[in-house]
């Protein structure tokens, strides 16, 4: 267990929404099924008994797919966590309508949730409408992210490029959105049509789905669209690389991280007292060594650390975790850039029929 960053548990399956590219509803359906609070707490107790005391990822694709059941679980989870001195930090994935649920957000924070991964996907309303992401159209994206962070849940955002009729600059518009909302972590991919989804069926009817060798890399951040997009693949690759380069740049990332944490309420006192695991101490030591002593930007880094101690002292654990990610992002950026460019070049070597499918 020492080698893991987090442990995974699942509360519910299925999601009531109808985003046409989504394979979750394809595999798990739109009717949400959930464990009982008792079942879920028994699984947490097993982790607790094994000695786990760190992050727990609640891997539901939409934790609030059934808000009533999520609420029932949280009402049971809050006292369970309190009685054990808040042994876990939870993160999960939810739809953006969470922003309209102040009671649920408050309960999540009380239960020890401190991060949520949100399917923002794009800031272009026309693209959201074209893929049936109605829950995102029903909110103002900036206000929704602000409300969720303001409630005490750190926002991680998913971004997709390559929707039909997307206008040039979608990547930059997402960068602007992340900057405005001080969102440090953005998980961006090019759109993939997964067999069985409504998107795949439509693209197949339109004769736009390519051969399935592309399946091998589908879902990875280094894969191209596995269909003929309405924009040239090369333009999409250029935009997504630009997005990664801007958002993962060390200084910009740490600044967004610090501003995001400063905009959040202090962590409830009982939750900030958890003793760090030796692995976490080692991770912080490695950040201090690499960024704080060896890198040219070390002075800027220390300024952010000291500012953090006065701006968000209770959230320094999240700050250190973000700094570690910032280190990792530098290497990851290289592998994404290399992978995408390699695939684009490979695609240039495809037989003429395939070339025909691609706009350039
Ligand atoms: S909200 Fe998320 S899980 Fe639900 S259908 Fe849309 S993409 Fe899939």
Query: What digits encode the pLDDT tens for the residues 144-188?
Result: 999 999 999 999 999 999 999 899 999 999 999 999 999 999 999
pLDDT confidence of residue 3: 87
CB neighbours of 345 closer than 8 A, spacing ≥ 6?
none
Averaged pLDDT for residues 297-326: 90
User: Ligand 1 test: best mutation among 95, 131, 133, 134, most atoms within 8 Å of CB?
Assistant: 95
Q: Compute, in angstroms, the gap from residue 276 CA to the centroid of ligand 1.
A: 34
CA distance 87 to 331: 31
Q: Secondary structure of the chain in the HEC alphabet?
A: CCCCCEEEECCEECCCCCCCCCCHHHHHCCCCEECCHHHHHHHHHHHHHCCCCCEEEECCCCCCCCHHHHHHHHHHHHHHHHHCCCCCEEEEEECHHHHHCHHHHHHHHHHCEEEEEEEEECCCHHHHHHCCCHHHHCCCHHHHHHHHHHHCCEEEEEEEECCCCCCCCHHHHHHHHHHHCCCCEEEEEECCCCCCCHHHHHHHHCCCECCHHHHHHCCCCCCCCCECCCCCHHHHHHHHHHHHHHHCCHHHHHHHHHHHHHCCCCCCHHHHCCCCCHHHHHHHHHHHHHHHHHCCCHHHHHHHHHHHHHHCHHHHHHHHHHHHHHHHHHHHHHHHHHHHHHHHHHHHCCCHHHHHHCCC
pLDDT of residue 257: 96
Lowest-confidence segment of 1-15, 214-228, 237-251, 290-304 by average pLDDT: 214-228
Which atom of ligand 1 approaches the CA of 95 most closely? 1
Which has more confidence, 99 or 272?
Answer: 99
Q: Which residues, at least 6 apart from 162, have a Cβ–Cβ distance to it below 8 Å?
A: 190, 191, 225, 229, 231, 236
Counting from 1 in the atom list of ligand 1, the atom nearest the Cα of 21 is 7
Atom of ligand 1 nearest to the CA of 17: 5
Region 61-71: what's the mean pLDDT? 97
Q: Does the pLDDT of residue 354 top 50, yes or no?
A: no
Measured CA to CA, the distance from residue 140 to residue 152 in angstroms comes to: 19
What pLDDT, on a 0 to 100 scale, did the predictor assign at position 351?
45
Return the pLDDT at 287: 87
Tell me the per-residue pLDDT of 35-49, one tens digit each, with 9 for 90 and over. 999 999 999 999 999
Q: What is the rounded distance in angstroms from the CA atom of residue 258 to the CA atom of residue 32?
A: 36
What's residue 255's pLDDT?
A: 94
From the list 154, 153, 157, the residue with the least C-alpha distance to 136 is 157
Regarding the beta carbon of 15 and ligand 1, being less than 6 Å apart is answered yes
More confident position, 270 or 162 = 162
Stretch 222-237: mean pLDDT, rounded?
92
**Quick check: 244 pLDDT over 50?**
yes
**pLDDT above 90: percentage of residues in the chain:** 72
The confidence band for 273, taking pLDDT boundaries of 50, 70 and 90, is: confident
- Mean pLDDT to the nearest integer, 265-284: 86
* 113 Cβ inside 6 Å of ligand 1: no
Contact 11, 58 (CB under 8 A): yes
HSE of 276, CA atoms in CB hemisphere, 13 A: 14
Q: What is the pLDDT of residue 216?
A: 60
Whether the predicted pLDDT of 134 surpasses 70: yes
Q: What is the pLDDT of residue 212?
A: 58
pLDDT of residue 360 exceeding 50, the answer is no
Task: Assess whether the C-beta atom of 228 lies below 6 angstroms from ligand 1.
Answer: no
**Distance in Å, CA 193 to ligand 1 centroid:** 14
Please give the mean pLDDT across all residues of the chain: 91
Our mutation pick for probing the ligand 1 site, out of 10, 15, 31, 158, counting the most ligand atoms within 8 A of Cβ, is: 15
Residue 358: the pLDDT is 43
Ligand 1 binding pocket mutation candidate from 14, 59, 60, 61 (most atoms within 8 A of CB): 61
CA-based Rg of the chain, rounded to a whole angstrom?
A: 21
φ, ψ (nearest 5 deg) of residue 88: -125, 150
CA distance readout (Å), 325 to 22, 199, 284, 347: 27, 33, 11, 31
pLDDT at 84: 96
Which candidate, 244, 210, 231, 230, places its Cα nearest to that of 346? 210
Q: How far apart are CA 144 and CA 141, in angstroms?
A: 5
Exposed, middle or buried: residue 277 (CB in 10 Å: 0-12, 13-18, 19+)? middle
Residue with CA nearest ligand 1 atom 6: 19
Contact 142, 106 (CB under 8 A): no
Better-scored residue on pLDDT, 97 or 272: 97
C-beta of 52 in contact with ligand 1 (< 6 A):
no
CA nearest neighbour of 211 among 196, 197, 228, 198: 228
Confidence at residue 359, expressed as pLDDT on a 0 to 100 scale? 46
Give 199 Cα–ligand 1 centroid separation in angstroms.
Answer: 13
Categorize the per-residue pLDDT at 97 as very low, low, confident or very high, splitting at 50, 70 and 90.
very high
pLDDT the model gives residue 290: 85
pLDDT (0 to 100) of residue 127: 95
């Amino acid at each position: 267990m020492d080698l893991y960053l987090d442990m995974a548990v699942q509360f519910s399956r299925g999601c009531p929404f109808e985003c046409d590219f989504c394979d979750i509803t394809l595999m798990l359906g739109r009717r949400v099924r959930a464990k009982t609070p008792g079942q879920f707490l028994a699984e947490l107790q097993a982790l607790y008994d094994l000695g786990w005391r760190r992050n727990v990822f609640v891997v539901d694709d939409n934790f609030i797919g059934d808000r009533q059941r999520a609420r029932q679980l949280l009402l049971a989870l809050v006292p369970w966590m309190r009685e054990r001195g808040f042994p876990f930090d939870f993160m999960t994935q939810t739809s953006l309508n969470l922003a309209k649920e102040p009671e649920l957000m408050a309960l999540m924070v009380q239960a020890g949730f401190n991060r949520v991964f949100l399917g923002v996907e794009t800031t272009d309303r026309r693209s959201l409408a074209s893929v049936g992401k109605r829950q995102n159209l029903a909110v103002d994206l900036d206000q929704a992210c602000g409300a969720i962070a303001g409630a005490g849940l750190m926002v991680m955002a998913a971004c997709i490029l390559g929707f039909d009729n997307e206008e040039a600059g979608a990547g930059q518009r997402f960068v602007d959105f992340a900057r405005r909302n001080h969102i440090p972590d953005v998980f961006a991919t090019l759109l993939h049509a997964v067999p069985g989804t409504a998107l795949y069926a439509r693209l197949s009817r339109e004769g736009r789905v390519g051969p399935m060798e592309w399946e091998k890399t589908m879902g990875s951040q280094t894969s191209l669209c596995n269909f003929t997009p309405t924009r040239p693949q090369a333009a999409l690759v250029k935009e997504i690389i630009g997005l990664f380069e801007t958002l993962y740049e060390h200084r910009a990332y740490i600044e967004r991280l610090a501003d995001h944490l400063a905009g959040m309420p202090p962590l409830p006192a009982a939750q900030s007292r958890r003793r760090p695991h030796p692995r976490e101490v080692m991770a912080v030591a490695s950040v201090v060594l690499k960024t704080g002593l060896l890198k040219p930007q070390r002075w800027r880094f220390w300024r952010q650390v000291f500012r953090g101690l006065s701006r968000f002292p209770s959230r320094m654990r999240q700050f250190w975790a973000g700094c570690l990610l910032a280190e990792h992002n530098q290497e990851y950026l290289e592998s994404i850039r290399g992978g995408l460019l390699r695939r684009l070049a490979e695609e240039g070597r495809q037989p003429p029929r395939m070339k025909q499918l691609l706009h350039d």
